[in-house]
Amino acid sequence: MSLVDELSLQGAPRLFPDEYRNIVETFEHGEAVLHVQQNDKQADAYYLLALQKGDLLKAELLRLKRQAEEEARREAAERAIRAEEERILREAAQAEERLQEQNQLKAAAEAAAAKSKAVSKEASVPLPTTYTVRRGETLPQIAGRTEIYNDVSLWPLIYRANRDQIRDPKRLWPGQVLTIPRRYPGKK
């Protein structure tokens, strides 16, 4: 019987052993009625019943297959989200290291300039610790502003400090007030 073979190939004996066995027994009972009792009508009723049971089992197998495919898609999407988040966090850590290096170089240059020149010190303008987003701005544009970091590649620092209000680093809203991190572990 091709229905039994088809169900077998789809894994019915493993997934639904009792139901599969019941279909096979119903079919075999129809065969016995046909060959032993030679009653075509009653045998056809058993065959029809086996076909109906087979259709129900095929539908259930299809549902399980779709459910497994959906679960696989969901897991793949979750892995992709985790990978993207890890990539952004790595970029933020690298940007943090570059900023620390820049600050160290700047401090060394300032110290050297102070030693070589006996110039009176001017009052320095404090760097902002927050920034209000303007229409159309992106994190790299904000990081590139001279009063922020003056380096577009340091945008992950801003993203990392504001993850509570930035779901997608590519989408900012006018009026958002972002924290601009200035101090890092190890920096005094």
Residue 117 has a pLDDT of: 61
Backbone angles phi, psi at 128, to 5 degrees: -70, 145
The pLDDT-based confidence of 184 (bands split at 50, 70, 90) is low
CA–CA dist 29, 7 (Å, integer): 18
Backbone angles phi, psi at 121, to 5 degrees: -80, 135
CA–CA dist 180, 182 (Å, integer): 6
Q: Is the pLDDT of residue 25 over 50?
A: yes
Residue 74 has a pLDDT of: 96
Q: Is the pLDDT of residue 48 over 90?
A: yes
Strand partners, 177: 132
The pLDDT-based confidence of 72 (bands split at 50, 70, 90) is very high
- Give the residue, 5 or 83, on which the prediction is more confident: 83
Backbone angles phi, psi at 132, to 5 degrees: -95, 125
Residue 5 has a pLDDT of: 86
Report which residue type is found at 177. V
- Give the residue, 4 or 71, on which the prediction is more confident: 71
The CATH number assigned to the domain with range 127-188 reads 3.10.350.10
Residue 120 has a pLDDT of: 43
Strand partners, 132: 177
- Give the residue, 112 or 152, on which the prediction is more confident: 152
CA–CA dist 78, 184 (Å, integer): 31
CA–CA dist 53, 61 (Å, integer): 12
- Give the residue, 104 or 185, on which the prediction is more confident: 104
Q: Which pLDDT tens digit goes with each residue over 106-126? A: 888 888 777 766 444 444 667
Residue 6 has a pLDDT of: 87
Residue ranges of domains in the chain: 1-116, 127-188
- Average pLDDT over the chain, rounded to an integer: 87
Residue 122 has a pLDDT of: 46
Q: Which pLDDT tens digit goes with each residue over 55-70? A: 999 999 999 999 999 9
